[in-house]
């Protein structure tokens, strides 16, 4: 049984007209002979609106109740799509995570899927039904509803595709993956295919097309993920293991991403003591706050300055921890004016001099680099936000993105 798992994002099911349109597309596909599982996000901005309602009551709503609240968005779109499909004369059945045993563990608001009991899905497919599943949600060990984190429906879809050994198609309001976000750079090129690793780097760096964990899942289980425009014949992008790396090597960089969501913290004049550093970082990590870029000055009189970036959203929580070790304006310096500017490409593994080219372009154009980190396939620089647009244009031109 070849199963196709399709996911439709919030904008694709944003109103009743759009839901009807998706129903037509799905029915056409079903009549062409595919077994279909359709995962949906909440309609339009529903999730944001639900958060907003809770925030009208309190700034610190209980996390369990937030998940109970947010999961309702997907239940609405899921049932509506089933109704729309049925009204076109095909059989459809909607399921919540609870009904099909999408089991999760970990924290509310960012739980992980550890298994899916696919019996009900298979039974419904065998009965010839189109199965519609509420994305973004699961049920934890206590039987509580949890959510997977914003944008998590992608991960629901890939997880179901893994479990059913099916293929996976993600439909959204963009027609594929571009070398650079076309809203930031108008000459950006659409990619026919992109390697999982590259896509992972790009999406964790602010290319918001996909939930990162969905790509990790696809990679782990070798499921190619198609990303494209809903209800359209325009060809999208396939995220997969790109076999023909020789071809990619001729272009060391595949994509570029920027993010303004981080803040840099510098701790000045602290003892150059690895135990102390590890205590600070461990305390921050315990709160699941992701520290990304780290840089340290060379020791002077056994004192160093250490800088690191973390998501702006986690700043307050991080400061509460760090201030237990260090406080005072002379010790702690917060820099909110940073853009994380990253270039990504598998070709970097085998091409030398990529960093040198970037730095040369920055130097010639007086773009100050505040911090740098690299991996095998990525270079990230923290630059000033005012330099962002210039940096995008220059680097995209330099590497023909």
Interacting residue ranges for Mg ion, rule: CB under 5 A: 9, 151
Of ligand ASP, Mg ion, none, which one sits near residue 171, judging by CB under 5 to 8 A according to partner kind? none
Applying CB under 6 A, among 153, 179, 204, 342 the residue interacting with ligand ASP is 153
- The sign of the torsion formed by the CA atoms of 297, 301, 302, 306 equals negative
In angstroms, rounded to a whole number, what is the distance separating the alpha carbons of residues 264 and 96? 40
Residue 135 is a binding residue for ligand ASP (CB under 6 A): yes
E strands in 245-331: 255-259, 262-271, 294-296, 303-311
For strands 262-271 and 237-240, give the pairing: unpaired
Q: Which span sits near ligand ASP by CB under 6 A: 150-158, 166-174, 328-336, 369-377? A: 150-158
Residue 111 is a binding residue for ligand ASP (CB under 6 A): no
Q: Tell me how far, at minimum, the Cβ of 136 lies from ligand ASP, in Å.
A: 4
Residue 342 is a binding residue for ligand ASP (CB under 6 A): no
Q: Which of residues 10-39 bind ligand ASP (CB under 6 A)?
A: 10
Query: Contact, 266 vs 338, CB < 8 A?
Result: no
Residue 41 is a binding residue for ligand ASP (CB under 6 A): yes
Among 114, 47, 194, 271, smallest CA distance to 203 is for 194
Q: Tell me how far, at minimum, the Cβ of 215 lies from ligand ASP, in Å.
A: 14
Applying CB under 6 A, among 3, 19, 42, 215 the residue interacting with ligand ASP is 42
- Which C-beta is closer to ligand ASP: that of 42 or that of 346? 42
In angstroms, rounded to a whole number, what is the distance separating the alpha carbons of residues 314 and 317? 5
- Which C-beta is closer to ligand ASP: that of 12 or that of 342? 12
In angstroms, rounded to a whole number, what is the distance separating the alpha carbons of residues 196 and 227? 12
Task: List C-alpha distances in Å: 98 to 104, 145, 214, 309, 344.
Answer: 10, 8, 20, 38, 39
In angstroms, rounded to a whole number, what is the distance separating the alpha carbons of residues 297 and 151? 37
Applying CB under 6 A, among 151, 176, 206, 252 the residue interacting with ligand ASP is 151
Applying CB under 6 A, among 14, 73, 138, 228 the residue interacting with ligand ASP is 73
Among 160, 386, 201, 398, smallest CA distance to 292 is for 201
Phi-psi region of 59 (alpha: psi -120 to 50; beta: other; left: phi over 0): alpha
Q: Which span sits near ligand ASP by CB under 6 A: 148-156, 225-233, 302-310, 367-375? A: 148-156
Residue 171 is a binding residue for ligand ASP (CB under 6 A): no
Residue 47 is a binding residue for ligand ASP (CB under 6 A): yes
Residue 204 is a binding residue for ligand ASP (CB under 6 A): no
Applying CB under 6 A, among 14, 152, 236, 345 the residue interacting with ligand ASP is 152
Binding residues for ligand ASP (CB under 6 A): 10, 41-42, 47, 73, 135-136, 150-153
């Amino acid at each position: 049984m070849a199963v196709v798992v399709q996911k439709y994002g919030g904008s694709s099911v944003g109103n009743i007209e759009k839901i009807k349109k998706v129903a037509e597309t799905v029915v056409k596909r079903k009549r062409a002979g595919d077994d279909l599982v359709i995962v949906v996000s909440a309609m339009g901005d529903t999730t944001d609106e639900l958060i907003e309602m809770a925030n009208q009551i309190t700034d610190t709503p209980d996390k369990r109740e937030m998940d109970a609240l947010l999961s309702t968005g997907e239940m609405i779109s899921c049932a509506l799509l089933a109704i729309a499909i049925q009204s076109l004369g095909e059989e459809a059945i909607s399921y919540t995570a609870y009904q099909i045993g999408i089991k999760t563990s970990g924290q509310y608001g960012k739980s992980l899927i550890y298994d899916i009991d696919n019996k009900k899905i298979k039974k419904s497919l065998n009965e010839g039904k189109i199965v519609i599943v509420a994305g973004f949600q699961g049920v934890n060990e206590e039987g509580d509803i949890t959510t997977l984190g914003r944008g998590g429906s992608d991960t629901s879809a890939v997880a179901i595709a893994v479990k059913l050994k099916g293929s996976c198609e993600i439909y959204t309001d963009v027609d594929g993956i571009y070398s650079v976000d076309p809203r930031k750079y108008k000459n950006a090129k659409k990619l026919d295919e992109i390697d999982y690793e590259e896509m992972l780097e790009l999406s964790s760096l602010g290319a918001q097309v996909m939930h990162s964990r969905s790509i990790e899942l696809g990679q782990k289980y070798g499921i190619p993920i198609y990303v494209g425009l809903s209800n359209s014949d325009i060809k999208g992008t396939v995220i997969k293991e790109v076999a023909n790396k020789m071809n990619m090597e001729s272009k060391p960089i595949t994509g570029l991403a920027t993010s303004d969501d981080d803040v840099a913290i510098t701790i000045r004049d602290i003892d150059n003591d690895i135990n102390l550093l590890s205590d600070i970082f461990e305390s921050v990590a315990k709160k699941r706050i992701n520290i990304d870029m780290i840089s340290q000055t060379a020791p002077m009189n056994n004192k160093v300055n250490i800088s690191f970036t973390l998501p702006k959203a986690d700043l307050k929580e991080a400061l509460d921890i760090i201030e237990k070790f260090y406080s005072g304006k002379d010790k702690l310096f917060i820099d909110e004016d940073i853009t994380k500017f990253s270039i990504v490409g598998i070709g970097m593994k085998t091409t030398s001099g990529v960093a040198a080219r970037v730095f040369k372009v920055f130097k010639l154009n007086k773009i100050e680099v505040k911090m740098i980190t690299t991996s095998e396939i990525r270079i990230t620089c923290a630059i000033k936000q005012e330099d962002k647009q210039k940096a995008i244009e220059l680097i995209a031109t330099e590497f023909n993105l």
